[in-house]
Amino acid sequence: MRKAGFPPVVDANTRVLILGSLPGETSLAAQQYYGNPRNAFWRLMEGVLDAPLVPLAYEARLAALLAHSVGLWDVIAEAERPGSLDAAIRDPAANDLLNLIETLPALRVVAFNGGTAAKLGGKLIGERAATIALPSSSPAHAARLSSRRPTSGANSGPGSAPDPAGRARLQEIHLRTARAWGSIPSH
């Protein structure tokens, strides 16, 4: 089944653009970015922005992101995909990321939410903008991490997190780093 994403959530003050791959089934049904309650995105952004997001209505969440100069979109405009796993994406058609980036005068960094977004989006953007690859906030990624056995109580490799809480912390560190660079203003 061919699935299509949502329009970008940006304005002229967007300094950080967070790009996912393509919304999953739950998000598409809800017509909301990161609409699956098991997706850690909104909880992570609460920590990064130091602002309540989870209890807000969806439109208020989007407004809060924009108030903190954070925008959202996806790398993939549409694709064939049964279910919600990025591994099942076939025949993707990309969003016009370069055109969007050119319309964002304050943009400092593009953050990719997950490996698929980073792999595909990085090819499209190239050197046109600073980028950062973040661990996926998706519930599928959290399930894969929590099903792994810890090797010695430590991370299994550079940049990896041993469990969903560790993954969430790692993503928060990446986004706080973006804030420290001046990409996300503190309010």
Q: Which residues are catalytic?
A: 39
CB 97 within 8 A of CB 34: no
110: which strand partners?
Answer: 17, 131
**Strand ranges across the sheet with 76-80:** 2-4, 76-80, 90-94
CA geometry: angle at 49 spanning 48 and 52, to 5°? 110
User: Can you tell me which residue has the tokens 């690859």?
Assistant: 133
CB 88 within 8 A of CB 82: yes
> Which tokens hold the place of 172?
């928060």
CB 18 within 8 A of CB 133: no
Distance CA 142, CA 146 (A): 6
> Which tokens hold the place of 120?
């595909």
